[in-house]
């Protein structure tokens, strides 16, 4: 298997896209740390699904927007598995509304979780990867970070920031055989997108050449590729997984 003996940490992997990524990496041979902030039950369900298929996984609670929690998350990963090869920064929240009615708290929550959380986890994990002279980091951005989305100023800013983080960090750590890439999903029905207006979703699907929504498994497949040996010479890139939506 492509990821045999690799250790992967996937933030926000109790459900949705994060769960699909954790399951896909485990299916490729990785041992997985399933991170969650508040819902222990869903995280344990992800762990149980991995174990049922013969894989190895543990659930670790941590709020990645808090640097001390991110440090503890990485420390517990190392304590459980002895190393950390793959980091997928997937944890995210939304607080959608027009800028005119957006509060400072709405802005801070989204930026702190979606962007600062990735910084925190990268910062906590990078020393281990530098010592190993090996690491694979994938940040889950969004088409909103590439093109912007009305009603999602905070989310679009955070996801665009992830793209900048990806490219800058790729330049810093490339000499130590560490790659840093991003995926930019289009519309994927999950709990995170459940509150999007129906007319907005229909408009997006009308624009996308493939004329369908994405699935968590579509995103997981892209992540699995970027952390596999097949992508060893790819870094600093943003892979849109959106049915062609970004072209419109």
Q: How confident is the model at residue 205 (pLDDT cuts 50, 70, 90)?
A: low
Q: Is the confidence at residue 127, as pLDDT, over 90?
A: yes
Q: 211, 186 in Cβ contact below 8 A?
A: no
Residues 6+ apart with CB under 8 A from 71: 120, 124
Highest mean pLDDT among 88-97, 183-192, 195-204: 88-97
> 5 is written with which tokens?
């003996």
Which residues have a catalytic role annotated? Answer: 155
Q: What would the mean pLDDT of 148-165 be, rounded to a whole number?
A: 96
Q: How confident is the model at residue 213 (pLDDT cuts 50, 70, 90)?
A: confident
Residues 6+ apart with CB under 8 A from 103: none
Q: What single-letter DSSP state applies at residue 97?
A: B
Percent of the chain scoring above 70 in pLDDT? 93
Q: 70, 122 in Cβ contact below 8 A?
A: no
Phi-psi region of 121 (alpha: psi -120 to 50; beta: other; left: phi over 0): alpha
Q: Is the confidence at residue 155, as pLDDT, over 80?
A: yes
The model's pTM is 0.94
Q: Is the confidence at residue 151, as pLDDT, over 80?
A: yes
């Amino acid at each position: 298997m492509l990821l045999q003996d690799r250790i992967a940490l996937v933030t926000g992997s109790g459900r949705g896209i994060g769960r699909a990524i954790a399951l896909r990496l485990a299916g490729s041979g990785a041992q997985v740390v399933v991170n969650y902030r508040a819902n222990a039950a869903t995280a344990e369900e992800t762990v149980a699904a991995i174990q049922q298929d013969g894989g190895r996984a543990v659930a670790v609670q941590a709020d990645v927007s808090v640097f001390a929690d991110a440090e503890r998350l990485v420390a517990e990963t190392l304590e459980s598995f002895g190393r950390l090869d793959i980091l997928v920064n997937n944890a995210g929240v939304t607080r959608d509304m027009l800028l005119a009615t957006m509060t400072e708290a709405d802005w801070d929550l989204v930026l702190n979780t979606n962007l600062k959380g990735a910084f925190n986890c990268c910062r906590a994990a990078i020393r281990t990867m530098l010592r190993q002279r090996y690491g694979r980091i994938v940040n889950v951005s969004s088409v909103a970070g590439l093109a912007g989305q009305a009603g999602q100023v905070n989310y679009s800013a955070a996801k665009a920031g992830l793209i900048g983080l990806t490219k800058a960090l790729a330049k810093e750590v490339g000499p130590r055989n560490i790659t840093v890439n991003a995926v930019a999903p289009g519309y994927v029905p999950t709990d995170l997108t459940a509150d999007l207006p129906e007319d907005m979703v229909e408009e997006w699907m009308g624009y996308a050449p493939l004329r369908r929504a994405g699935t968590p498994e579509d995103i997981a497949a892209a992540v699995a590729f970027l952390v596999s040996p097949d992508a060893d010479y790819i870094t600093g890139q943003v892979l849109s997984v959106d049915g062609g939506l970004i072209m419109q």
